[in-house]
Chains A and B, each alone.
Chain A
Amino acid sequence: MKYEGNSVSEGIAVGEVYLYTPFIPRIQEETIPESQTAEEVAQYQTAKERAKRELDKIKNKLEQEKDEKAKIFSAHLDILFDTVMDEDIIFFITNKKYSSSYAVSSIFDKYAKMLDKVADELIRERAADIRDVKNRLLRNLRGIEEKNLSILEKPAIVVAHDLTPSDTATLDRKNVLAIISETGGETSHTAIIAKSYGIPAVLGVKNMMSVLRQDEKVIVDAVKGEIFTEPSAEQIEYYLEEKQKYAENAKKIKEFISVQPVMQDGHNIGVYLNIGSAKPQELEGSVYVDGVGLFRTEFLFLGKEQLPTEEEQFTIYRKVLTTYGEKPVILRTLDIGGDKTVSYMDLPIEENPFLGNRALRLCFSHPEIFKTQLKAAYRASVYGNLWLMLPMVGSLDDIRKAKVFIEEVKTELRQNAIAYSENVKVGIMIEIPSIALIADKAAKEVDFASFGTNDLCQYLTAVDRMNPQISEYYQSYHPAMFRLMGYATEAFAKLGKPVSVCGELGGDLLAPAVLIGLGINKLSMGIGSVARTKKLITHLSFEKAKKLAAAVKEMSTAAEVEQYLKSELSEILQ
């Protein structure tokens, strides 16, 4: 049988299925009779012993493989044997007559919450470890076997309903051949992780958990987004060959990661990185690129218990700016709302969140949050080359209002004798069509612009990009996209102000050729697309790019554009 889904991270895999069902503890307050307390304590001790054996096993295996992740599990052992929590749990069982599960659950939660409140980011992250150890203990109290993606017995194709960030963060990269999930699309967390690890992934394949059996052999073609069950010997042979070919090609492309992105006729293109945090793997990319084209600052705000402080933000911004030195770092101010929500802000539910109080609008309605971020950014500006980018700008009113905030913050810093750089550039994201259509006016008031093509496409074509029912209408190759971007780019170019692309199109397989032809000379993308895009740039001439752009602007449909580009670029893509 053949099943289809979204191929979000390319590659091919042939292997056996590992059905992943995470343990979800369902705990309720329960008390026990006095006579049972000794037994409950004994159960807790046994579960703890079992948990210890599991952790020892994982830790030893990782240590043998010299895997850095061994440290995580060593920390989990420390947590499991924490004396204060241990005493509290036993006290809860013997004195409050709580069941062992409820005692474990409430004590672990209590201490995790305590660490959530610590200002230090590194320590707050430990709260997640406490919750992980809690689940391990609770599972052992139920006598359920471990299912864990951080350590697999053998190479396998992981199949899940959905994967959480903690599942993917500790993923056993060596043994995961591919990922199949029932939910998730191009921009989901799983997709981003799979791409960055280079693991083939097909997401959004319905009913996979009930269709597939543990250990059954399947083929995953994450180039086309297809899954084959009960494959024939010929099919297996064919796909093993394809896999080999794919790997060789990927290796060839990889060689392009460190080349200078200069076109055939000497035209220079800047290749920039999109980063979502300041984790080491994201900072290491700095040597291959000309700067950061999009620093998403949301990660500081999402999945937390409280707002990040100015100090915390400053520390992270400084780290990124220091790493990139003289290379520009385009920091996008807070973009939450829409599909990104935070629990602690208690934002009202909106009918149309993508058209609602998000990003810059949200910052205007929460001035303190906006000012704290601006302050942290300006303080960090002395450590590198900071460019500040405002998201969701629809009018000049937005730009002017934001500038008032920026001036206020600068004044406060001066009053407090805190240093900041006078060379910070202020620019806008172009993602709302209205600002694109008055780009000539906007260009007079800002230093630069960057196209956020995901939202630009969503707003231009009136398609909710989170709604899978209408995904066929989300056409990023729509000729209107290229016409509009071309128009806005010209307006900025007239005033000599730089324009870049930081949405998915910037690192797309085909689109960069057209974008360059429209006059955009900076492209920003995830690290996974850098080598491929550099290959495209170095094999293309600026003259050809201009020809492609002119042709595409005169086309009628997205399909026509795609077909044309595929044929025009076929030699380079090989």
Chain B
Amino acid sequence: MYSKKTVIANNTGLHARPASDFIANATKFKSRIFIKRLDSGDEANAKSIIMLLSLALDKGTEVEIYAEGEDEITAVNSLIDLIDSKFGEDK
């Protein structure tokens, strides 16, 4: 298992398009991937839009992404990079 932490940095948080982009990226990987809110401890399957939305991840929320499977390292790094890129919201 591989995991990493980061903070949601884009203004709209993981809703709408960013959530959709996140799922599209996560489903490319074979590993099982989870995303966890560090303040409440709630976690969700990172490949499910519904579960992701239910976490209500706003800007400033600290999260941990962890994965288990053959491509776990690339999966986690790729998703962390996506969050840190602010989903292209800042120009």
Contact = CB atoms under 8 A, between A and B. Distances in A.
Interface in B17-52: 17, 19-20, 23, 27, 45, 47-51
B23 to A, nearest CB: 6
A78 B56 contact: no
B54 interface: yes
Nearest to A86: B48
* B47, B49, B51, most chain A CB atoms within 10 A: B49
Given A75-B20, A78-B23, A114-B54, A122 B15 contact: yes
* Chain A, interface SS category: helix
Given A75-B49, A79-B50, A85-B50, 10 more contacts: A71-B16, A75-B20, A79-B49, A83-B27, A83-B47, A84-B48, A118-B53, A120-B15, A120-B56, A123-B53
* Chain B, interface SS category: helix
A114 B56 contact: no
B58 interface: yes
A75 B53 CA distance: 12
A82 interface: yes
A130 B54 CA distance: 13
Nearest to B19: A78
A119 interface: yes
Nearest to B51: A84
A120 B16 CA distance: 12
B54 A118 contact: yes
Interface string A76-90: 001100111100000
| Interface band, chain B | 10 to 19
A77 to B, nearest CB: 9
A83 B47 CA distance: 6
13 contacts: A71-B17, A74-B20, A75-B49, A79-B50, A83-B47, A84-B47, A84-B48, A114-B50, A114-B54, A118-B54, A120-B56, A120-B58, A123-B54
B61 to A, nearest CB: 12
Nearest to B55: A118
| Interface band, chain A | 10 to 19
Interface in A87-112: 111
A119 B16 CA distance: 16
Contacts of B45: 83-84
A115 interface: yes
A30 to B, nearest CB: 25
A126 interface: yes
A111 to B, nearest CB: 5
B49 to A, nearest CB: 4
